[in-house]
Amino acid sequence: MSEIKAVALLSGGLDSTLAVKLVQEQGVQVYALHFYTGFCITEQKRRLGLKKEDGSHYMNPALKAALQLKVPLEIVDISEEYFNVVLNPKYGYGKNVNPCIDCRIMMLRKAKEIMEEKGCHFVITGEVCGQRPMSQMPHTLRLIEKESGLEGLILRPLSAKLLPPTIPEKLGWVDREKLLGIYGRGRKVQIELAKKYQLDYQQPAGGCCYLTDPNYAIKFKEALSREGNLTREDLVLLSVGRHLRLPSGAKLIVARNEGEVNFLKGFRNRYGFAQREDSKGIFVLVKGTPTEEEYPTIAGVVCRYSKREPARVIIKVGQEQVCLWGEPIDEETLEGLKIIKEKVHGAG
């Protein structure tokens, strides 16, 4: 038979990177896929122009991993279709608002299409049995295979010995004895392998998807209950800034840094906004229509997060623009407006 080829789902994390490496070691040609959902934390930080503590810029971890592995990488944008999955998951949510089973099925269906287009023979993933309670238990892995149309064609090198032999193993495309049998959340075996292969990888701590973040979940559920229908734009904005809800139902999204200021300013033509007259300090996006009686509160929020000093504040809502003197809002009132309270995982 001609050279065996496979497509691999590559997030850039430790597990997916090692899964590709283990199969490469057996002479299989790998074509990597990275799915862009619009909810990747690292990608959002990169887009906002934020930097790491060492001053370096954030980089798409899949690109970094592909360079190390010397494999071609295709970034597949599924964000538009993924929006519907987030709002209407067939198999429900995990601990927060993460539709992990539906997410995996969707990605693998896309991978199947690309596998067939490229003339590849099977799909590789970095999944580890028992690592994630919702999507990586043996019965769930079988469900995902069936729903994606890839029964017998998904090779999970890190846990292969704990799972039934796949078609690639049965046909001798890969040697099952050279695959692993890892179970659970521990990373000791993977870390040792990374050292062996001298692979740099993204640390698993902190997660990579906003949908698994408790703070994002709180904002998502609150917005859904208060606003009803959510748009793709709404889901993006939930990942940015501090979120406050006024008594009228209008929402304030308060930038936390320069990157968020620049990002939120991009929505000025679609929503209202508030900022100091001299343009110094933070920027506040105003969603909905606040009452005029709430304008001093909005000005107070701007002053509170702009050096905590009084200032003249411009507020624009629809065609109306006003300028008024603002005093920093008191902490008790501010706390009452926050969608995420201080006691829940820190400030929102």
Average pLDDT over residues 266-275: 95
Give pLDDT, residue 342. Answer: 60
Q: Tokens 């934390």 belong to which residue?
A: 41
Dump pLDDT digits (tens) for 117-145.
999 999 999 999 999 888 889 999 999 99
Q: What is the DSSP string of 74-143?
A: EEEE-HHHHHHHHHS-TT---SSS--HHHHHHHHHHHHHHHHHHHT--EEE----BTSSTTT-SHHHHHH
Average pLDDT over residues 231-236: 92
283-287 and 29-36 beta bridge pairing: unpaired
Q: Which two tokens stand for residue 135?
A: 């999507």
Share of the chain above pLDDT 70, in %: 95
Q: 87 pLDDT band (50/70/90 cuts)?
A: very high
d(CA 156, CA 166): 9
pLDDT of 293 higher than 60: yes
d(CA 348, CA 256): 10
Give pLDDT, residue 203. Answer: 61
Contact 78, 37 (CB under 8 A): yes
pLDDT of 298 higher than 80: yes
Q: Is the Cα torsion angle 31, 36, 37, 42 positive or negative in sign?
A: positive
Q: 348 pLDDT band (50/70/90 cuts)?
A: very low
Q: Is the Cα torsion angle 289, 290, 295, 301 positive or negative in sign?
A: negative
Give pLDDT, residue 175. Answer: 97
pLDDT of 303 higher than 80: yes
Residue 91, amino acid: Y
d(CA 290, CA 211): 29
Q: Tokens 């539906």 belong to which residue?
A: 102
58-89 b/e (C-beta count within 10 Å ≥ 16 → b): bebbbeebbebbebebeebebbeebbebbbeb
pLDDT of 345 higher than 90: no
Q: 344 pLDDT band (50/70/90 cuts)?
A: very low
pTM of the full structure? 0.87
